[in-house]
Structure 1
Amino acid sequence: MRGRRTRGLRSAALIAAGALALTACSSGGDSPDDAAPGDDAAGGADVAAAEEFLAPWLGEGDKGLLIDEPLDAPVEEGTHVVYLDVGTPVSAVMWQNLQAPAELLGLRLERVEVGRDAQSINSALNTVVELAPDGVINITLDPIFFEPQIAQLDEAGIPIASGSVMNTVEYGLPEAFNGPEWMTTNGGVLAAAAVVRSGGASEYVFYNVPEFPFSALELEGAQDKLAELCPDCTLRVVDIPIAELGSTAADRVVSDLQANPATEYFMAAVDEVQIGLPQKLGLAGLDVDGIAMWTAPPNYEQIAAGEQDATLSVDLNLMMWTVLDQLLREMGDQSYEWPDVQTRAATLTRITDQSNAPEDPVLGYVAIDDYQDLFAANWLAD
Structure 2
Amino acid sequence: MHRSTLATAAGLTVAALTLTACTSGGSTEPTTADSAEAGDAVAQASAFLAPWDGDGNKQLLIDEPLNEPVAEGTHVVYLDVGTPVSAVMWANLQTPAELLGLNLERVEVGRDAQSINSAMNTVVELAPDGIINITLDPIFFESQIEELDAMGIPIASGSVMNTVEYGLPEAFNGPDWMTANGEALGAAAIARSGGATEFVFYNIPEFPFSEYEQAGAADKIGELCPDCTLRVVDIPIAELGSTAADRVVSDLQAHPETEYFIAAVDEVQIGLPAKLSLAGIDVKGIGMWTAPPNYEQIAAGEEDATLSVDLGLMMWTVLDQLLREMQGQAYEWPDAQTRAANLTRVTTQANVPEDPVRGYVAIPDYQEQFAANWLVG
Give the TM-score of the pair, scaled to structure 1: 0.92
Report matched runs for 1:329-368 at 5 Å: 329-368=324-363
Question: Which residue among 84, 87, 90 is the counterpart of 2:82?
Answer: 87
Query: 1:188: which partner in 2?
Result: 183
- Between the aligned partners of 2:18 and 2:257, the Cα distance in structure 1 is 13
- Between the aligned partners of 2:60 and 2:37, the Cα distance in structure 1 is 44
Query: What's the CA shift for 1:203?
Result: 0.5
Q: Structure 1 residues 36, 372: CA separation in 2 closer, same or farther (over 3 Å shift)? A: farther
Whether the 8 Å CA contact 1:190–1:267 is kept in 2: the answer is yes
Report matched runs for 1:156-235 at 5 Å: 156-235=151-230
- Between the aligned partners of 1:66 and 1:211, the Cα distance in structure 2 is 28
Query: What's the CA shift for 1:45?
Result: 6.7
Offset from partner CA, 1:198-230 (integer Å, 9 cap, x none): 000010000000000000010000111110011
Query: 1:259: which partner in 2?
Result: 254
Larger RCO: Structure 1 or Structure 2 (Cα < 8 Å, ≥ 6 residues apart)?
1
Q: Does 1:72 align with 2:63?
A: no
Offset from partner CA, 1:102-139 (integer Å, 9 cap, x none): 00000010000110000000000000000000000000
- Between the aligned partners of 1:47 and 1:113, the Cα distance in structure 2 is 44
Q: Structure 1 residues 30, 266: CA separation in 2 closer, same or farther (over 3 Å shift)? A: farther
Q: Does 1:298 align with 2:297?
A: no
Q: Secondary structure at the match of 1:255?
A: helix
Q: Does 1:324 align with 2:290?
A: no
**Worse overlay, 104-113 or 30-39:** 30-39
Q: Structure 1 residues 37, 66: CA separation in 2 closer, same or farther (over 3 Å shift)? A: farther
Q: Structure 1 residues 31, 65: CA separation in 2 closer, same or farther (over 3 Å shift)? A: farther
Q: Which amino acid aligns with 2:123?
A: V
- Between the aligned partners of 2:191 and 2:37, the Cα distance in structure 1 is 17
Offset from partner CA, 1:37-66 (integer Å, 9 cap, x none): 993645787111111100000001100000
Query: 1:113: which partner in 2?
Result: 108
- Between the aligned partners of 2:47 and 2:363, the Cα distance in structure 1 is 23
- Between the aligned partners of 2:294 and 2:37, the Cα distance in structure 1 is 36
Q: Secondary structure at the match of 1:206?
A: strand
- Between the aligned partners of 2:223 and 2:25, the Cα distance in structure 1 is 16
- Between the aligned partners of 2:166 and 2:32, the Cα distance in structure 1 is 46
- Between the aligned partners of 1:69 and 1:271, the Cα distance in structure 2 is 33
Query: What's the CA shift for 1:270?
Result: 0.2
Tell me how large the CA RMSD over aligned residues is: 1.7
Query: What's the CA shift for 1:381?
Result: 0.7
Query: 2:19: which partner in 1?
Result: 25
Q: Secondary structure at the match of 1:189?
A: helix
Unaligned runs of 5+ in 1: 1-20
Offset from partner CA, 1:345-372 (integer Å, 9 cap, x none): 0000000000000000000000000000
Q: Structure 1 residues 71, 257: CA separation in 2 closer, same or farther (over 3 Å shift)? A: same
Query: What's the CA shift for 1:343?
Result: 0.7
- Between the aligned partners of 2:147 and 2:17, the Cα distance in structure 1 is 41
Unaligned runs of 5+ in 2: 1-14
Q: Structure 1 residues 36, 117: CA separation in 2 closer, same or farther (over 3 Å shift)? A: farther
**Displaced runs of 4 or more, over 4 A:** 21-24, 27-32, 40-45
Query: 2:12: which partner in 1?
Result: none
Give the TM-score of the pair, scaled to structure 2: 0.93
Query: 1:13: which partner in 2?
Result: none
Whether the 8 Å CA contact 1:115–1:121 is kept in 2: the answer is yes
Report matched runs for 1:266-281 at 5 Å: 266-281=261-276
Whether the 8 Å CA contact 2:80–2:109 is kept in 1: the answer is yes
Offset from partner CA, 1:68-120 (integer Å, 9 cap, x none): 00000000010000000001000000000000000000001000011000000
Whether the 8 Å CA contact 2:38–2:196 is kept in 1: the answer is no
Query: What's the CA shift for 1:26?
Result: 3.8
Offset from partner CA, 1:162-219 (integer Å, 9 cap, x none): 0000000000000000000000110010010000000000100000000000000100
Whether the 8 Å CA contact 1:125–1:149 is kept in 2: the answer is yes
Whether the 8 Å CA contact 1:37–1:199 is kept in 2: the answer is no
- Between the aligned partners of 1:230 and 1:45, the Cα distance in structure 2 is 9
Identity rate of aligned residues, in percent?
77
